Amino acid sequence: MAHDVFISYSSQDKTVADAVCATLESRKIRCWIAPRDVQPGQPFAASLINAVKSAHVMVLVLSEDSNQSQYVLRELNEAVDKGIPIIPFRIEDVEPSEELRFYIKSLHWLDAMNPPLERDLKKLAESVEAL
């Protein structure tokens, strides 16, 4: 399936990642999100890398858990290598780890720590549409 946005997140943040996906898709922005879009029988890591490579934008759901995720780090590395714009969507009051900071230190973040989440999801969708 062709997609516009790759959603990078820790599995502990799946509820927020699913809300990001639903909001973007309600605005006709096609998303790729694991595990939903991993094809049966395909290697998980290869599916992630191929999806990142074909995305126009990456949304990073930034939290303490994503800070520790090696998958998130690898996805960011691939996005940076391919020149894909990254929008950090920070859902917890946390600074990125040293490794994540290497990739996102110069980017403007969208903070989504204070309710209602829907307001911040709308801002995120508008940011994606602007790219």
Asked if residue 2 has pLDDT above 80, the reply is no
Domain 5-130: state its class: alpha beta
Give the chain's mean pLDDT: 93
Q: What is the pLDDT of residue 77?
A: 94
Q: Which residues contact 7 (CB under 8 A, 6 or more apart)?
A: 17, 20, 21, 31, 32, 33, 58, 59, 61
- What is the per-residue pLDDT across 109-127, written as a single tens digit (0 to 9) for each? 899 998 899 999 999 999 9
Residue 103's pLDDT band, with cuts at 50, 70 and 90, is: confident
Q: What is the pLDDT of residue 1?
A: 53
| CA separation for the pair 64, 10 (Å, rounded) | 9
Residue 3's pLDDT band, with cuts at 50, 70 and 90, is: confident
Q: What is the pLDDT of residue 105?
A: 86
User: What is the number of helices (H) and of strands (E) in the chain?
Assistant: 6, 5
Residue 75's pLDDT band, with cuts at 50, 70 and 90, is: very high
How do the domains of the chain map onto residue ranges?
5-130
- What is the per-residue pLDDT across 16-69, written as a single tens digit (0 to 9) for each? 999 999 999 999 999 999 999 998 998 888 899 999 999 999 999 999 999 999
CA count, 13 A, side-chain hemisphere, 92: 15
pTM of the model: 0.93
> What are the structure tokens assigned to 24, written together?
């973007």
Share of the chain above pLDDT 70, in %: 98
